[in-house]
Structure formats: structure tokens, C-alpha cells
A and B are shown apart, each in its own frame.
Chain A
Amino acid sequence: MDRKRIREEVIEILANKLHNLPRRGDDDSFDYDSQVLVPTITKDPLDIQEVSMDLEDAFGVNFEDVLPGDPGMETIAKVVDYVEARLLRRAKAATAAADDADD
């Protein structure tokens, strides 16, 4: 999955539950990437728990020590970075496993 698709999907998942975030297409000028999740988009820890689980379900990733909104993952762009890195790591691991199998 390329970064553009990951980003679109992340925004869609976040906007589905975080109602301060416009849905894609509602506001073309909206700067999603720099949005600070906490406290700009939500101050509610339950919101964060919910969207974290939704993102985990959608991408098959696990937020381990850091949840969206925490230091290190403050903005939507950083959430996309995290998901993209995890997917890339998984793809590399799958490729390596396939290579090992070929050997």
C-alpha cells in the first residue's frame, strides 16, 4: 500500500470518530498533515483508544508503547509515518521469509 492510500485511509478512519476533523472532500483546503491530535482534534482519551483500535484493525498493526496523539505521534502525518513504517517492515519481513523459503 503506498503512502497516498495509507494517508487517505488514516484520515477517513480518524474523521469517522473524531468529529472535529472534516471528512475528506468536505474541505479541500484543510491541512490534515499538521493537525495535532491531542488536544486540537480531541481531548478525550476514549476517542484515542477507539481510533487506535480502528487503525489497528484496518492496517493489521499494533500501537505498542505509543498511541496516536502521544509524544512522538502528535500529528496525523506522524500517524501515517508510523503505519507506513510498520507496513514496510512487515513487507520486508515477508519478502525475506519468501527468499529464505526459495533458498
Chain B
Amino acid sequence: MPDRRVVVTGMGVLACNGLNVSAYWEALKAGRHGIGPITSLTTKHATTFAGEVAIDNLALAGGDKKIQRRKDRFVLLALKAAAEAMADSGLDWKAWADPFRVATIVGSGIGGLSTIENEYRTFMERGPSRVSPMLVPKMIVDSAAGDISIVYGAKGPNYCITTACATGSHCIGASFHHIRAGLCDVAITGGAEAPITDLGMAGFSSIGALSTRNDSPATASRPFDKEREGFVIAEGAGILVLEELGHAQARGARIHGEVVGYGLTGDAFHETAPDPTGAAGIACMRMALRDAGISGDAIGYINAHGTSTPYNDASETRIIKQVFGDHARRVAISSTKSMTGHTLGAAGAIEAIASLLALRDGVLPPTINLVTPDPDCDLDYVPNQARAAQATYALSNNLGFGGHNASLIVKRFETDAN
């Protein structure tokens, strides 16, 4: 095992079912979702509901109109979650000992889609010379990482990873490895997404990926249930502050948990469909277990990708069985997307936070709307009600269009563990 351990000292969340970590965690434990009719669009889409974060852009910008005007919503979400995470960490960002040892690795699956749509409309209506100079800086997918680093003076490794729905997991995993390898001591990391736009809704509808249960948004996200028929698109952001253990302890930081393993593979199969053999998903989880130096039996909780699409949930069940063998029947699995919807590039981050909180507080969040058993999904998905359980290790999966697979393993923090 490498000498340098990596702990989580700060967390920030914006989700449709909770506008900060505390509210989000209370909602997850209570089995409360945040999905409802779309309020921000007037176009009639095939799917009329989503998981919206109930804060407008001006409020996200703290009432500052210039920030509101110059940032896409996905960046505003990222900045607000970063503010919560940094405050939670207690780090004095105005007096870094060495700002080049502070990384910012924050991604998005799509980036500034609403900005692209608005400026393309301007281009079509008024010509190329009227396109805003803010188009590029607002819409580029790396702008959340850039903007967060500007606010906090973080001058170390800085980039974004874009791997669709695996984005948040990959950003956290890369940050973990950078700190463990000694490249930096602190990382502000995670993902943000604001996909509830006309093109976003139209595009995901065209793929046939979205639930169209318009008469019952509350029960639309139903991972592992036999009646599942698509995912529920949602916006959100999750930001974590990762820190080298000695760095955190030297300043007496509160430690939420530890990141111990990271796996990443690619299906090399299809643009959107997962490889039916699950070979890369299996290899991904095994890689994370090897990286953590533990066997599958040590995992007490799996926060599944669990999108609520017919294919994903059955496929993920199969690959969990292959990785964990008999232990697959014993390990508790849940999909918190049943309550948050699918936040795409933010999912890996907000679900890593759910996993850390589950270990820290000894409560496993449920999979809600799990009513009708599916013979292809026959494991323990913690149905409908949270469960008290002391787990030491949790694994969080996220898989993205393009065949990107990412698995993170987090651990309940123990002071003297190796």
C-alpha cells in the first residue's frame, strides 16, 4: 500500500432533493426524492419532468448579476457546491502554504449547453458578429475547474475530465491518485451538470433513454424495479475536498472518510450501449479492489450506477455477481438515483458523498420505488427504506456513454488503519 493516505475533509452538494449536504443526506435517509414537472422550460418535450435544483441563477451567483451573466448554470452549481465544501473543510484558502500543491479537478458531462443554445439562437437570428464574447468561456466544459481555482487561488494540477455519467467518479479518482502519488496535498474535485435545456431534453429523449412516466414523476426513477423504463434527468453538483491524511491531521481537520480505491476501464463496444458481456465493468470493479488492496468480501455497501434503465440495472446486477461471487447475495446495494434522478457528470460526486456519509453515519440509503421484483435484478437493493448498518468499505460505480467505467472505493475513517 502506498504511504500517503487520502481523506475527505470537505463536501458540498446541490441536488434536487437537497440544496446542501445536510439536507441531501436527510432526504436520502428518509427516502425523499426531488423529481417533479419541469419548471424552467416551456417547450413540450416527450418527458415533462426532471430533477431540478430549486435555486435560480441569480441566487446561485449570490445576487451578483455580473457573475450570473458570465457563468453558465453548471458552473454556478459547481461554484456553490465548492463554497460549501471549502467552508466544510475549514481550509484557509487565503493563506495556502503552497498553492501549487492544491489541485482543482472538476468535470461536467456536457458543459454549458444552455449557453450554446442561446448563442446559437443569436447566431441564427442576428449573424456571427453578434455572438457574445462570453460564449466560449461560459460553455467550455473545463470552466468549472477553472472558475473554482480562481476563487480559491488553487494553482496546482487543474483540469476537467469528461466521461459522460462517469465524470464525477473519474475526477475524484484522478484527484485521489494525484494526492497519493505525491503530486499535490489537497484537491477540490467533483462534477456539475445543468442538462435541463431544450436540446438536452430533446437529445436524451431521442436516444430513448428517459423515462416518460409523465403521469407520475415521483415514481419514475425506479432502479432495479421490473417496471423501470428509463432514467430521470437531473441537474446538480457535488464537490469534495480531498486531502493527504498528514496534511489534514496537522491542522486538526474533521475527516468524513477515506478514499482507498479507484478503477477505470472502457468497454470499447458502442456509443451508448454497454458491452453485454460486462467485461470492462467487471474489470473496473476488480481494478478498484486491487487498488484498495482488499477483497470483494470487505465491501459492505455498493452505491450502484442504477440508472433505472431496463438494460443498465440488469447488466450491473450481472457484473456485481461476477465480481463478488457469493458475497453479491450479502452485500447491500442501492441506487440513490431513485431519489436524485440522474445528474450525469455530477452523479459520481454526489454518490461518492452519499457513500461516505453512509459509512460515517452507519445508515445505508435506500432504493425507492422498488415495488415489483425483477428476476434479472435479484440482489439486496435496500428497498424503499434506509437501513442501519456499520459498513467499513463502500464501492460506488458510475458508467458513461462512450463505454467509460469508473469505480471508487471509500472507507470509514479509522485513525490508525493502514
Contacts and interface: CB of A to CB of B under 8 A. Distances in A.
The answer on A and B forming one complex is yes
Nearest to A57: B130
A49 B131 CA distance: 11
A24 B8 CA distance: 49
B290 interface: no
A53 B66 contact: no
A46 B134 contact: yes
Contacts of B252: none
A49 B132 CA distance: 8
B132 A17 contact: no
Interface string A52-96: 010001000000000000000000000000000000000000000
B130 A46 contact: no
Interface string B65-97: 110011000000000000000000000000000
Contacts of A57: 130
Interface residues of A, number: 7
Residue of B70, B130, B133, B134 with most chain A CB atoms under a 10 A cut-off: B133
Interface in A22-63: 46, 49-50, 53, 57
A17 B134 CA distance: 13
A40 to B, nearest CB: 17
A53 B126 CA distance: 12
A46 B65 CA distance: 15
B137 interface: yes
Contacts of A17: 66, 69
Given A17-B66, A46-B70, A53 B137 contact: no
Contacts of B69: 17
Contacts of B65: 19
A58 to B, nearest CB: 12
Given A53-B130, A57-B130, A46 B66 contact: no
B66 A19 contact: yes
B143 to A, nearest CB: 12
A57 B132 CA distance: 12
A53 B122 CA distance: 13
Contacts of A53: 130, 132-133
A46 B133 CA distance: 7
Interface string B134-157: 100100000000000000000000
Interface in B352-393: none
Interface of B: 65-66, 69-70, 130, 132-134, 137
7 contacts: A19-B65, A19-B66, A46-B70, A46-B134, A49-B133, A53-B133, A57-B130
Interface of A: 17, 19, 46, 49-50, 53, 57
Given A50-B133, A53-B132, A53-B133, 13 more contacts: A17-B66, A17-B69, A19-B65, A19-B66, A46-B70, A46-B133, A46-B134, A46-B137, A49-B133, A50-B132, A50-B134, A53-B130, A57-B130
